[in-house]
């Protein structure tokens, strides 16, 4: 096990952060670690401690940190200009690549964050449909908008379809605009959609919700019922886009929505996200096609900026190569299988949940099909394991291993050794 030592420099930075940043951080990750650099599948903090990185910047570094081809593309672009607030060739080429890759994508509009992408996707669907309400799924994460932060992680469970705000500052009226259904419960979702079809502007879903795969037939059932009533179906692929396969979760699972949102990987580690979908819906971004009444205003200072665009294009070039996905899936399957074997050998009520490029352990023996199923997991054991992993040089979020194409045999061996050590230190073992 590594010895995680903290330098005076890092301690001073942590203290400074708590003076000038609310809760001492950026709102993302634990505030007691200050990262300095990343290369491949590893990162280093300012004290010099080295970690196998399964955080991956919350997912965008799918081909690893500081990939030489991404670095080369970015360094070539920076002297030519970093943003123009006008079209640039690289942004256009990136949009072409997205249209080529994603079955639902006929046109693309760039923004700077996944939260923006989800917000605008809901807005453009409402503009197209001329209806105000949306249906989402409990536990689904769709960014930081008022609508996105309804029933993401409710502390008090309500009867469906009542929405519960996850944040202070959200107008009460938003609750009336959001209907909530349980993920993977197609019959409940279909009943709610049928009952409220004339009020719904959109149905939005993570095709792979946090760690939970869709049940067989669930996504296709949503596709069928929304198509029946002419309601736009939005796949939030900010996480899954280019992660499960080159065409995202919609290609991986074989179900095509009307719109999707993308982020993380498409910017190659820089701020970039997108809404992509049917041309007749995307037309509402074009005043000349829909007129003043149907026009959706959207501007963003850094939208489609050339630095993020060249980083995204370089990333996609790597992912298009033969064997790129085969390799990362093989790494993920091996990790999942070995961890599952350790859990079974230890006799723990636990399961490895997810897909090979994005998974974690849920410490519960009961099947997990929806958000409420995740609540049955033993949070204390999860916290203990995560703490022990970090002490052994494994960096991950509270509930995810993000795999990258850069993770290698050495990373896997260190991870499995650290997980075995965490199992051995569980209270009562």
Domain ends where: 287, 303, 319? 319
| Spatial distance between the Cα atoms of 194 and 226, rounded to a whole number of angstroms | 9
Section 67-80 average pLDDT: 98
Categorize the per-residue pLDDT at 357 as very low, low, confident or very high, splitting at 50, 70 and 90.
Answer: very high
- Say whether 264 is catalytic: yes
Q: Write down the pLDDT at residue 76.
A: 98
Domain ends where: 319, 339, 373? 319
Q: Residues 377, 363: contact at Cβ < 8 Å?
A: yes
Catalytic annotation, pick one of 118, 236, 360, 411:
236
pLDDT over 70 percentage in the chain:
99
Catalytic annotation, pick one of 264, 370, 401, 402:
264
| Spatial distance between the Cα atoms of 93 and 95, rounded to a whole number of angstroms | 5
- Specify the 3-state DSSP secondary structure of 261: strand
> Domains in the chain: how many in total?
2
- The verdict on 253 and 378 lying in the same domain is no
Quote the longest CA-to-CA distance of the chain.
68
Catalytic annotation, pick one of 54, 120, 141, 401:
141
Section 371-379 average pLDDT: 95
**Is residue 127 included in any domain, yes or no?**
yes
Q: Residues 180, 161: contact at Cβ < 8 Å?
A: yes
**Is residue 1 included in any domain, yes or no?**
no
**Is residue 377 included in any domain, yes or no?**
yes
Section 158-166 average pLDDT: 97
- The verdict on 313 and 333 lying in the same domain is no
Q: Residues 67, 314: contact at Cβ < 8 Å?
A: yes
- The verdict on 14 and 116 lying in the same domain is no
Section 246-258 average pLDDT: 98
Task: Inform me whether the pLDDT recorded for 370 exceeds 90.
Answer: yes
Q: Write down the pLDDT at residue 5.
A: 86
For the chain, helix (H) and strand (E) counts, in that order, are: 15, 14
**Is residue 2 included in any domain, yes or no?**
no
**Each residue's pLDDT tens digit, 92-133:** 999 999 999 999 999 999 999 999 999 999 999 999 999 999
Cβ partners under 8 Å of residue 231, min gap 6: 129, 193, 197, 200, 201, 202, 203
Domain ends where: 276, 294, 319? 319
Q: Can you give the CATH number for the domain in which 389 is found?
A: 3.90.1150.10
Beta strands (DSSP E) in 129-232 are: 133-137, 178-181, 200-205
- Say whether 253 is catalytic: no
**Is residue 298 included in any domain, yes or no?**
yes
Categorize the per-residue pLDDT at 2 as very low, low, confident or very high, splitting at 50, 70 and 90.
Answer: low
Task: Inform me whether the pLDDT recorded for 224 exceeds 70.
Answer: yes
| Spatial distance between the Cα atoms of 429 and 418, rounded to a whole number of angstroms | 16
- The verdict on 365 and 286 lying in the same domain is no
- The verdict on 182 and 214 lying in the same domain is yes
**Is residue 12 included in any domain, yes or no?**
yes
- The verdict on 328 and 314 lying in the same domain is no
- The verdict on 26 and 12 lying in the same domain is yes
**Is residue 343 included in any domain, yes or no?**
yes
Q: Is 173 exposed, middle or buried (0-12, 13-18, 19+ CB in 10 A)?
A: exposed
- The verdict on 62 and 72 lying in the same domain is no
When computed from its CA atoms, the radius of gyration of the chain, rounded to whole angstroms, is 22
- The verdict on 415 and 279 lying in the same domain is no
Q: Write down the pLDDT at residue 1.
A: 43
Chain mean pLDDT for the chain: 96
**Each residue's pLDDT tens digit, 261-311:** 999 999 999 999 999 999 999 999 999 999 999 999 999 999 999 999 999
Residue 43 sits at φ, ψ, to 5 deg, of -135, 160
Section 28-38 average pLDDT: 94
**Nearest C-alpha neighbor of 367 from the set 351, 379, 356:** 351
Residue 275 sits at φ, ψ, to 5 deg, of -110, 135
Q: Write down the pLDDT at residue 429.
A: 63
Q: Write down the pLDDT at residue 288.
A: 97
User: Alpha carbon of 412 to those of 4, 48, 348: distances in Å?
Assistant: 20, 21, 22
**Is residue 429 included in any domain, yes or no?**
no
Q: Read off the pTM.
A: 0.97
Domain that holds residue 55: 8-66+324-424
Q: Residues 58, 81: contact at Cβ < 8 Å?
A: no
| Spatial distance between the Cα atoms of 272 and 267, rounded to a whole number of angstroms | 5
- Say whether 120 is catalytic: no
């Amino acid at each position: 096990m590594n010895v995680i030592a903290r330098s005076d420099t890092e301690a001073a930075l942590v203290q400074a952060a708590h003076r000038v940043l609310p809760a001492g951080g950026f709102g993302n990750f634990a505030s007691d670690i200050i990262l300095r650099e990343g290369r491949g599948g590893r990162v280093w903090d300012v004290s010099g401690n080295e970690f196998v990185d399964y955080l991956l910047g919350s997912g965008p570094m799918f081909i690893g940190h500081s990939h030489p081809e991404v670095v080369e593309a970015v360094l070539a672009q920076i002297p030519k200009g970093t943003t123009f607030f006008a079209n640039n060739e690289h942004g256009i080429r990136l949009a072409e690549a997205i249209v080529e890759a994603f079955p639902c994508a006929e046109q693309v509009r760039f923004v700077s964050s996944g939260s923006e992408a989800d917000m605008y996707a809901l807005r453009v669907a409402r503009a197209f449909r001329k209806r105000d309400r949306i249906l989402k799924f409990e536990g689904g994460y769709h960014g930081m908008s008022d609508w996105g932060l309804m029933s993401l992680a409710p502390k008090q469970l309500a009867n469906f379809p009542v929405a519960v705000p996850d944040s202070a500052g959200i107008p009460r009226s938003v609750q009336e605009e959001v209907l909530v259904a349980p993920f993977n419960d197609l019959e409940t979702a279909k009943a709610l959609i049928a009952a409220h079809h004339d009020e719904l502007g959109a149905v939005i879903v993570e095709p792979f919700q946090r760690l939970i795969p869709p049940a067989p037939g669930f996504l296709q059932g949503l596709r069928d019922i929304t198509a029946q009533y002419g309601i736009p179906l939005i796949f939030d692929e900010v996480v899954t886009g280019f992660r499960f396969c080159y065409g995202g979760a919609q290609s991986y699972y074989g179900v095509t929505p009307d719109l999707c949102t993308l982020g993380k990987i498409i910017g190659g580690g820089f701020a970039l996200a997108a809404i992509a979908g049917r041309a007749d819906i995307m037309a509402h971004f074009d005043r000349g096609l829909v007129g003043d009444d149907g026009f959706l205003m959207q501007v963003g200072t850094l939208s489609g900026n050339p630095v993020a665009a060249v980083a995204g294009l370089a990333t996609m070039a790597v992912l298009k190569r033969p064997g790129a996905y085969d390799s990362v899936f093989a790494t993920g399957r091996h990790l999942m299988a070995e961890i599952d074997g350790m859990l079974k050998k230890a006799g723990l009520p636990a399961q490895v949940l997810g897909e090979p490029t994005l998974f974690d352990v849920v410490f519960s023996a009961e099947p997990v099909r929806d958000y409420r199923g995740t609540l049955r997991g033993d949070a204390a054991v999860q916290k203990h394991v995560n703490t022990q992993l970090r002490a052994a040089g494994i960096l991950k979020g509270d509930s995810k291993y993000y795999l990258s194409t850069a993770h290698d045999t050495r990373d896997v061996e260190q991870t499995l050794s650290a997980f075995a050590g965490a199992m051995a230190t569980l209270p009562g073992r």
